[in-house]
Structure 1
Amino acid sequence: MLIYVDDLLITGKNSGMIEELKTIMHGNFKIKDLGQLKYFLCIEVVRNTEGIILSQRKYALELILDSGLGNACSVSTPLEQNQKLTSSEYDMHIEHRSDELLEDTGMYQRLIGRLLYLTHTRPNIMYDVQLLSQFMQTPKKVHYEAAMRVVRYIRKSLGEGILFSNKSRPNLVAFCDSDWAACPMSRRSVTGYCVKLGDSLICWKSKKQNTISRSSAEAEYRCMASTVEELVWLRGLTKELGIEHHEPTTLYCDNQAALHIAANPVYHERTKHIEIDCHFVRDQIQKGVVCTKHVSTKEQQADIFTKGLGTNQHERLKIKLGMKDESHSPT
């Protein structure tokens, strides 16, 4: 049972137990049974022959109209490829110039807040919103224009959401990737990963790393450690829900150097400063919790969480993540 203030969701395999729980709840509280789940906290639930699609169509439409982009042209990607955004402080101290600041800071902050909530069903804008949220204090006009581009991208397919397939096996699989020294201001790398239960996307993340990595292998390995940490937690959670994991969870990485560090028990000079991450990942591999495999960069699904991509690759990875548009989905 999921409770948010006075809204409740009840799910389970035994319909009799669900009815019994509702009877007990009704005997102690005044409740209203709204029947099968269709709408919850601005998230729409649509069932079709493939499974269940979670989307935020109504929420996205309200966001577009409030932004004044109801009649604007759509764009094919949420962020221009290779676009670098910097803070006003960086411009003044490093480049000795400053782009024009946005007069209404609150307007930008509200827009980013609304976009953050939209990432619950739109993982394909996760990286872009994560990047834009770094400039909440003193946003520039270029930041606001980039945020409005994300809104125009959302306009392209209002009913887009995540498909929870009814045909996939309940086994966990993960993809992790990093963009080395991606931040032009701090030279920190970006961690991106996603976890699937069968073919259904259940977890994703895009975040700037806490420390500076001195090589791409180190950045990838830190990303791998973060993903393994999430997998350990998810394996425990799914076990509580009755899903047993008899095989190690496969973790796909496209960096051969990071995979060699994970497989090689000998520490080299260049890996001493990431020794804790090395021990943690290897420990989970030896326990049989995870196993690492190489995947080509083109097939790396987590790539969408680390950088702005071109139109073709962005659309390709979005489909691989299991995203569907419920507006065009047969019921």
Structure 2
Amino acid sequence: MLAGFEQSKFDYSLFVKKKEGKIVIILVYVDDLLIIGNDMDMINDLKGLLNQNFKMKDLGDLWYFLGIEILRSQEGILLNQLKYAQDLIKDIGLSKAKVALTPLEQNQKLTTVEFDEIVQQHQDDKLLEDKTVYQRLIGRLIYLTHTRPDITFAVTHLSQFMQSPKQSHMEAALRVVRYIKKEPGLGIFLKAYNKHQLVAYCDSDWASCPMSRRLVSGFCVHLGDSFIS
């Protein structure tokens, strides 16, 4: 471990160094490093130390990292996954498909195979022959929720059916992709002048889950005026 740096207890790929109100953070992913901080002298010292021990290439200011694009302006910073979303749409084969206006169809009730057998309904809604196709798609959608909180509820709901996905689940997941196709460059905008305060809102309905009759809740989180989750 680098001298003076502490490994985060919550993320073992994160290393932090603090000194007299100054801070430098290193994020490590395989052979990619992201270095941020509020003091350029500490950042440059760290780069020099790393160069002495490892073969490194400084790519300059952050603009792309792990599929996330970082766009800066005087108003703030936009984080999006435009290329990731476009690749997803192309790989799924929906480049020429019609867009969807919402992630999920209104009032659609998705159920498990076990529930269908108990209530003897949706007998024509068959299991997918290859469930890994559905699982891979949901996994890619989960990664996209880092910058697309508008699809988080739909993706979380669809991830409940990973073990035994049916045709209706696959169609619903493809609808999410068609919704993304409408605005693939949407992302999270962090305003340059913002309040450093987290504000959360939550809501829940009443017994809307068709299988358990439990409530379904939702939430959103703002950092100042910026919607982040």
TM class by smaller structure:
0.7 to 0.9
Which of the residues 26, 29, 33 maps onto 1:8?
Answer: 33
Structure 1 partner of 2:107: 82
Matched, 1:122 2:137: no
In structure 2, the gaps of 5 or more residues are 1-25
> What amino acid sits opposite 1:37 in the alignment?
L
Distance 2:97 2:147 in 1: 23
**Structure 1 segment 260-299 matched on structure 2, within 5 A:** none
Q: Which has the higher contact order (CA 8 A, sep 6+)?
A: 1
Distance 1:104 1:178 in 2: 34
> What amino acid sits opposite 2:31 in the alignment?
D
Distance 1:148 1:47 in 2: 32
Distance 1:161 1:97 in 2: 37
Give, in angstroms, the shift of residue 77 of structure 1.
0.7
TM-score (norm 1): 0.59
Distance 1:172 1:106 in 2: 38
The superposition leaves residues 147-172 of structure 1 with CA deviations (integer Å, 9 ceiling, x where unpaired) of 10000000001111000111212122
Distance 1:142 1:96 in 2: 13
Give, in angstroms, the shift of residue 131 of structure 1.
0.9
SS in 1 for 2:36: coil
SS in 2 for 1:11: strand
Structure 1 partner of 2:209: 183
Q: What is the identity percentage for the equivalent residue pairs of Structure 1 and Structure 2? A: 60
SS in 2 for 1:46: strand
Which of the residues 88, 91, 111 maps onto 2:137?
Answer: 111
Give, in angstroms, the shift of residue 20 of structure 1.
1.2
Structure 2 partner of 1:162: 188
The superposition leaves residues 250-302 of structure 1 with CA deviations (integer Å, 9 ceiling, x where unpaired) of xxxxxxxxxxxxxxxxxxxxxxxxxxxxxxxxxxxxxxxxxxxxxxxxxxxxx
Which of the residues 81, 95, 102 maps onto 2:120?
Answer: 95
SS in 2 for 1:35: coil
Matched, 1:64 2:82: no
More helix per residue: 1 or 2? 1
Structure 2 partner of 1:31: 56
SS in 2 for 1:10: strand
Give, in angstroms, the shift of residue 201 of structure 1.
3.0
Distance 2:205 2:54 in 1: 51
Give, in angstroms, the shift of residue 10 of structure 1.
1.1
Matched, 1:146 2:154: no
Distance 1:7 1:191 in 2: 37
Distance 2:152 2:206 in 1: 18
Give, in angstroms, the shift of residue 180 of structure 1.
2.6
Which of the residues 164, 167, 171 maps onto 2:197?
Answer: 171
How large is the Cα RMSD of the aligned pairs?
A: 1.3
Matched, 1:53 2:98: no
Q: How many residues align?
A: 203
TM-score (norm 2): 0.84
Give, in angstroms, the shift of residue 96 of structure 1.
4.6
Distance 1:168 1:134 in 2: 36
The superposition leaves residues 156-204 of structure 1 with CA deviations (integer Å, 9 ceiling, x where unpaired) of 01111000111212122111112332321112222322222211234x3
The superposition leaves residues 220-240 of structure 1 with CA deviations (integer Å, 9 ceiling, x where unpaired) of xxxxxxxxxxxxxxxxxxxxx
Change (3 A) 1:78 1:97: closer
Distance 1:83 1:30 in 2: 54
